[in-house]
Homo-oligomer: A and B are copies of this chain.
Amino acid sequence: MTGKPATIKEIAKILNVSISTVSRALHKHPTIGITTQLKVQALADKLGYEPNQAAISFQKGKTYTIGVILPELSEAFFSAAVSAIEDTAYKRNYTVLLAQSHDVEEKEIQLVEKMKNSRVDGLLVSVAKTTSNFAHFDMLKRFNIPVVFFDRIPPLKNIHYVACNMETGSIEAVNYLLQKGHRSIGMINGPPNLAASGERKEGYIKAMTKNRLKFDPSLIVSCNLTEEGTKAALDSLLANKRQPTAIVTFNDYVSLYAIKHARSLKIDLDNGLQFVSYANLPIINYMDYAPVASVEQFPALQGQKAADILLDLLSRKAQSSDEAEAYYNVMVESQLIENKKRNNN
């Protein structure tokens, strides 16, 4: 009852059958007679037998565990993603081993190494900002451990990934503002070294040119995402000869900083200046002055899809080793969400 868990061996001894018979009976193997099958099952239940997963993992060389490596769990985006990952893994009877790189390459490398050591069947990774060398991921390929990247994708060929298409959202954002009558639309972007900044900018430009508006580079300023940086960026935009009546910002936080600053400058936020941003954090629903819309990137959906892909790869691997080597490249479309709370305020 107490103490050590029951094993297959004990069941075998008590029932005077062989260990293999018990094992097969528990798995409902067809070559086992129905009577013994039931006998074994009954005793197993009575003893509260539970298979020793460690032994099984060892034996089969599989752990039924997927590793998740991401920069920062406490960021809303990632916690939503992991939450969804865990849920889909759970449904397929996998468990999730979690680790954060804190956006430092060295730690990411260590984590990959650690996870590789037979602990994990596959890996879900959102790469660290600082990662510039990707040998540790190649290594996984050599060890036949599948990896699916999500959100932050390394610039590699032949990888599986799911990411969010920023372009559509960006275009929607600009279109939304154009449709509202704005003609001079500024952008407070993130630092140029972030891929995300590039995507947002491209979407912006594409939307402008598609609407046959000429693109004015001076209306795009980048900032370091801090409150001070945002202030400066906003000031610079306001000083522009073609002073914008609407601004697209890198994310909701930047919008909020900018809004705060604008309010301290007594700018009319209802009619004079409107903001649209990225992320669609729940927070903006609580604000009195918030971006009028925000581009949702569906972290949960991304996480779920990435997990689905990985689990597919794993089951495929189990079935046959046909190395057809197709690579999953899934793009989740970003989508502009109007801030409803804002509008019925």
Contacts and interface: CB of A to CB of B under 8 A. Distances in A.
Nearest to A139: B48
Interface stretch (A50-58, A147-155, A322-330): A50-58
A45 to B, nearest CB: 14
B283 A263 contact: no
Contacts of A5: 118, 143
Given A54-B58, A58-B57, A283-B283, A100 B87 contact: yes
A10 B222 CA distance: 56
Interface stretch (A69-77, A162-170, A204-212, A332-340): A69-77
Contact of A117 (B3, B53, B80): B53
B2 A142 contact: yes
Contacts of A95: 97-99, 114, 119
A97 B54 contact: no
B63 A73 contact: no
Contact of A55 (B98, B118, B142): B118
Nearest to A110: B90
A129 interface: no
A116 interface: yes
The oligomer's copy count stands at: 2
Interface stretch (A21-29, A239-247, A270-278, A284-292): A284-292
Nearest to A286: B256
A83 interface: yes
A79 interface: yes
Given A5-B143, A83-B74, A288-B263, A51 B98 contact: no
B50 A54 contact: no
Interface string A86-103: 110010000111111000
Nearest to A119: B53
Interface centre among A72, A100, A118 (most CB of B within 10 A): A118
Given A95-B97, A287-B286, A52 B117 contact: yes
A260 interface: yes
B118 A100 contact: no
Nearest to A141: B2
A137 interface: no
A77 B46 CA distance: 41
24 contacts: A2-B142, A5-B143, A51-B117, A54-B54, A54-B58, A54-B63, A54-B118, A58-B58, A65-B97, A72-B83, A73-B82, A74-B300, A76-B76, A82-B98, A83-B100, A87-B100, A95-B98, A95-B114, A98-B98, A260-B288, A260-B345, A263-B288, A286-B287, A288-B288
Interface of A: 1-3, 5, 50-55, 57-58, 61, 63, 65, 72-74, 76, 79-80, 82-83, 86-87, 90, 95-100, 113-114, 116-119, 142-143, 253, 256-257, 260, 263-264, 283, 286-289, 300, 345
